[in-house]
């Protein structure tokens, strides 16, 4: 059972980083260039389109992690897309892509699809290409589709809890929300989904973003010895969610990041660092958080606001995580470099 979940989470982690990295690296740069080079709009549109293919990519990567056959792997990808909620049919009968879907339900559907195709095994023989894709749609795919409203309801419950935190005093609110989002970004839950469902804004959104920054920066620092530099940077430029498998197997690896998030969230309350429902679900990825803070800050791009932005989103996350990682690894001996190893082979 442990190995099953390890393979599932590893496949999900790889799929997430592959689908989200292109837009994370190019999105804001392209937005700056498009007014001068309008043809680049097509490239930006494609990176957004690729993000919506996240469910299929996760399904395929899960199939690869389980070493399934090509037909089985493709079928798991189809089932994951069905259970994602990323495809919406409007009143005119037109199907459209809507966001990246519900990550948790993608994982549940992919897991069911793996179990199903393994159950079928080689029984179909020469009829496999006819039976497996269709049967996977009808059984795990439709189960995932039917589960989707209930899984979304789970996100609503989490959102309600976060909404309650916004009623606290600003410093305590900021610390609490930052910790919650630091944990959420390492779980199958979608931080963007939770933030948008309650329209989290203001200091709450700023604190949420800093919680994700704490996770991304901290995991990049903690993991660079066990992984390549490029993989370490993917925690910041892409998503800390690539450590989801390691976190769920060993939650203690996130202790330094959680404490960093609490401090940064409190600072958000003190310095009035704000955000939007959209920016709340991102860290430094695509520079969404820092740029939204600058747009909302009184006075705009003043020297004082730039200093707060650099200090809160870059300097302090690095210093706090460096100090806390040292304490937890060298003094308390609670974490090791190997705990952050990612297997992308």
Q: Is residue 242 one of the residues assigned to a domain? A: yes
DSSP state of 275: B
Q: Is residue 181 one of the residues assigned to a domain? A: yes
Of 102, 124, 155, the domain-final residue: 155
Q: Is residue 160 one of the residues assigned to a domain? A: no
Q: How far apart are CA 274 and CA 289, in angstroms?
A: 9
Rg (CA), the chain: 21
Same domain? For 75 and 200 the reply is no
Same domain? For 104 and 212 the reply is no
Kindly report the pTM of this predicted structure. 0.84
Same domain? For 190 and 143 the reply is no
Same domain? For 333 and 191 the reply is yes
The owner of tokens 């998503």 is: 239
Q: Which domain holds residue 115?
A: 2-155
Q: How far is CA 14 from the centre of its chain?
A: 11
Q: How far apart are CA 148 and CA 111, in angstroms?
A: 14
Same domain? For 130 and 61 the reply is yes
Q: Is residue 149 one of the residues assigned to a domain? A: yes
Of 155, 190, 208, the domain-final residue: 155
Same domain? For 119 and 202 the reply is no
Concatenate the DSSP letters of all residues of 60-124 into one string.
Answer: HHHHHHTT--HHHHHHHHHHHHHHH--EEE-TTS-EEE-TT--HHHHHHHHHHHHHHHHHHTTTT
- Pull the structure tokens for residue 211: 């919680």
Q: How far apart are CA 263 and CA 72, in angstroms?
A: 46
Residues in the chain: 345
Q: Is residue 318 one of the residues assigned to a domain? A: yes
Q: Which of 264, 257, 263, 262 is nearest to 328 (CA)?
A: 257
In degrees and rounded to multiples of 5, residue 144 shows phi and psi of -60, -40
Same domain? For 144 and 245 the reply is no
Give me the pLDDT at residue 90, please.
78
pLDDT tens for each residue of the chain, 345 residues long: 888 988 898 899 888 888 888 887 788 788 889 999 999 999 999 988 888 899 999 999 999 999 999 999 999 999 999 998 888 887 788 888 877 888 889 999 999 999 999 988 777 667 777 888 999 999 999 999 999 988 888 777 887 888 888 888 889 999 999 999 999 999 888 887 788 777 888 889 899 999 999 999 999 999 989 988 888 988 888 789 889 989 999 999 999 999 999 999 999 999 989 988 877 877 787 788 888 888 888 888 899 999 999 999 999 999 999 999 999 999 999 999 999 998 766
Answer for the pair 104, 58: CB distance below 8 angstroms, yes or no.
no
Same domain? For 287 and 329 the reply is yes
Q: Is residue 265 one of the residues assigned to a domain? A: yes
Q: Is residue 243 one of the residues assigned to a domain? A: yes
Same domain? For 186 and 131 the reply is no
Of 132, 155, 178, the domain-final residue: 155
Give me the pLDDT at residue 124, please.
67
Concatenate the DSSP letters of all residues of 118-165 into one string.
Answer: HHHTTTTGGGHHHHHHHHHIIIIIHHHHHHHHHHHHHHHHHHHHHHHH
Q: Is residue 345 one of the residues assigned to a domain? A: no
Same domain? For 263 and 192 the reply is yes
DSSP state of 192: H
Same domain? For 295 and 320 the reply is yes
Same domain? For 69 and 103 the reply is yes
Count: domains in the chain? 2
């Amino acid at each position: 059972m442990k190995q099953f979940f390890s393979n599932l989470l590893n496949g999900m982690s790889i799929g997430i980083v592959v689908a989200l990295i292109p837009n994370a690296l190019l999105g804001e740069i392209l937005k700056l260039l498009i007014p001068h080079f309008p043809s680049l709009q097509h490239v930006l549109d494609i990176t957004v389109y690729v993000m919506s293919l996240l469910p299929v990519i996760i399904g395929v990567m899960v199939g690869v992690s389980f070493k399934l056959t090509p037909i089985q792997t493709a079928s798991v990808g189809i089932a994951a897309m069905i259970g994602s909620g990323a495809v919406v049919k409007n009143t005119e009968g037109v199907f459209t892509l809507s966001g990246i879907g519900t990550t948790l339900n993608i994982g549940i559907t992919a897991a069911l699809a793996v179990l199903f195709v393994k159950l079928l095994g080689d029984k179909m023989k020469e009829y496999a290409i006819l039976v497996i894709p269709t049967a996977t749609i009808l059984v795990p795919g439709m189960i995932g589709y039917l589960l989707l409203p209930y899984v979304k309801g789970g996100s609503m419950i989490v959102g309600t809890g976060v909404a309650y935190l916004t009623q606290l005093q600003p410093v305590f609110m900021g610390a609490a929300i930052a910790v919650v989002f630091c944990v959420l970004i390492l779980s199958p839950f979608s931080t963007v989904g939770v933030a948008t469902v309650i329209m989290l804004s203001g200091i709450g959104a700023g604190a949420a973003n800093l919680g994700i920054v704490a996770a991304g920066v901290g995991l990049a620092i903690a993991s660079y010895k066990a992984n390549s530099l490029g993989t370490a940077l993917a925690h910041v430029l892409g998503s800390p969610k690539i450590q989801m498998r390691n976190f769920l197997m060993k939650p203690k690896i996130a202790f330094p990041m959680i404490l960093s998030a609490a401090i940064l969230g409190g600072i958000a309350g003190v310095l009035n660092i704000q955000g939007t429902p959209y920016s709340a679900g991102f860290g430094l990825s695509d520079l969404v958080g820092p740029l939204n803070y600058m747009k909302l800050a009184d006075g705009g791009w003043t020297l004082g606001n730039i200093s707060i932005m650099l200090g809160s989103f870059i300097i302090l996350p690095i210093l706090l995580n460096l100090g806390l990682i040292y304490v937890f690894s060298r003094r308390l001996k609670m974490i090791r470099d190997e705990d952050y190893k990612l297997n992308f082979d």
